[in-house]
Amino acid sequence: MSSSVFEEAKGQLDKALEHFRIDEESELRLRTPKSVLQVSIPVRMDDGSLKVFQGYRVRYNDLLGPTKGGIRYHPNVNVDEVQSLAFWMTFKCAVVGLPYGGAKGGVTVNPKELSLLEIERLSRGYMSAIADFIGPNVDVPAPDVYTNSMIMGWMVDEYSNITREHKPEIVTGKPIALGGSEGREEATGRGGFYAFEAMRSGLGLGGKPLTIAVQGFGNVGYHFARLAAEAGHRIVAVSDSKGAIYKKEGLDPVGVNKVKQEQRELKAAYCKGSVCEFVEHQQITNEELLELDVDVLVPSALEKVITSENADRIKAKCIVELANGPTTNDADVVFEKKGIPVIPDILANAGGVTVSYFEWVQNRTGYYWPEEEVNSKLKAIIDKAAAEVLDLGKEYKVPLRTAAYISALRRINEAVKAKGTLRNFSMRR
Ligand code: NAD
């Protein structure tokens, strides 16, 4: 029987703890979420009927600061997935040194089946249901799969209606007009690109332009592909939930995205078109994309797409995890044996939460930065974290994922010790 996503996630922590011991109390606190909220969201549908959706918000750990994490709308959202994503957020924020703990939220819904007005009512209903559980100094949501800046705008508006106060820092990833940050929209893909560029020489992939396949051509995958193509790399394949396209000579990510956007029935929250309808190119399946003979594979969609089933057939020389949890622990073992480095999610996709942090800081000070400043601050943070993870990998002779956990554990452990553990008290006796 395959293990739950949460068990998989905790398996990664166990592996890091084999190499880097932390205080027993720190470990205990990292094994379970701080709090888990499940809510029912009644939504009046366009035809007058009422539907009730299930929503979740998990605050995993707040040792380093207020909890932070996105909100996912997807039919497969469940409490196991949300707490796994909240767990990863805890380590992600710590790897890049942000003053945040980890959280995540989600609603079990297929948003493609809802009208835009129904999505607005659902989003306001979700915010209303979780409003007492969150706060600018408590827990700060953001976008994730199938949520975007428009949805964050509705949520911040709803929160202001509830609290009768202007508090833009309650949600990040907002539209610029409602207090969003320059550069937030593309920050996750950009951060992934910076991490990859910072590490590739150290991974033996320096110098020459590389061939890249991107699974999941959404916000994160698109911006990574665009920046990589601008830097001279060849994006040979991209995909979305409906299928993949392949072109040996290289695709133009901006052109593909334009076609994808133009095929939207509503120029709004969701795209009915799909990259596989961009017919000039060879159509392949998502599974075939993962197994292409490329230099770099970039999973940017959902969890558990690279497993013990297909890991052996993966030919890429390096994997950059822009999605959360795309590789199972069994597959990691295969890559370790084959010497294929995996730049792990908790580092590779940390650019999003980093610029969310910048947005929160800007909202709290009321002073807004130009895009170049956002990007250069993001690069400084990602470059530093990437160098630390590479160094720790060498020092402990462990894969990059374990090195990233060690880097996060060091920071979390310091915070636990600073708050006082049994050992502090025992020493005084
Ligand atoms: P998105 O909704 O913009 O895009 C998701 C893309 O994945 C869509 O193109 C969708 O069609 C595609 N997809 C869905 N199922 C698929 C499948 N089975 N095979 C191939 N493609 C499929 O979402 P996003 O914000 O780009 O998020 C993508 C991943 O990045 C998620 O794992 C998310 O948790 C992670 N992430 C996002 C952010 C962020 O700031 N948005 C930050 C960190 C991590």
- CATH number 3.30.1300.10 given to 31-169: no
Structure tokens at 318: 């390096």
State whether the beta carbon of 219 lies less than 6 angstroms from ligand 1. yes
Q: Which of 10, 104, 174, 260 is catalytic?
A: 104
Q: How far is the CA of 389 from the centre of ligand 1 (A)?
A: 24
The 10s digit of each residue's pLDDT in 32-47 is 999 999 999 999 999 9
* Fold: same for 31-169 and 187-348: yes
What are the boundaries of each domain within the chain?
A: 31-169, 187-348
Q: Which atom of ligand 1 is nearest to the CA of 218?
A: 4
Q: How far is the CA of 220 from the centre of ligand 1 (A)?
A: 7
State whether the beta carbon of 351 lies less than 6 angstroms from ligand 1. no
pLDDT in the model for residue 220: 95
> Whose Cα sits closest to atom 14 in ligand 1?
241
The DSSP annotation for 135-201 comes to BTTTEEEEE-TT--HHHHHHHHHHHHHHHTS--GGGSSS--GGGTPPTT-TTHHHHHHHHHHHHHTG
Structure tokens at 210: 């590389």
**CATH number for region 187-348:** 3.40.50.720
Sign of CA dihedral 59, 61, 65, 68: negative
Q: Which atom of ligand 1 is nearest to the CA of 325?
A: 32
The one-character DSSP state at 268 is S
pLDDT in the model for residue 268: 31
Task: Mention every residue, 6+ apart, whose C-beta is less than 8 A from residue 47.
Answer: none
Name the amino acid, one letter, at 220. Answer: V
State whether the beta carbon of 148 lies less than 6 angstroms from ligand 1. no
pLDDT in the model for residue 2: 57
pLDDT along the chain (429 residues), means of 10: 82 95 86 97 98 98 97 97 97 98 98 97 98 98 95 98 96 97 97 98 92 95 98 95 89 88 45 50 89 98 94 97 96 96 98 98 98 98 98 97 97 86 60
Give the Cα-Cα-Cα angle 103, 105, 106 (nearest 5 degrees): 155
| Confidence (pTM) | 0.93
pLDDT in the model for residue 270: 35
Choose among 220, 215, 221: nearest CA to 173.
220
Task: Measure the CA–CA gap between 27 and 14, rounded to whole angstroms.
Answer: 10
Is 104 a residue of the active site?
Answer: yes
The 10s digit of each residue's pLDDT in 202-217 is 999 988 999 999 999 9
pLDDT in the model for residue 426: 65
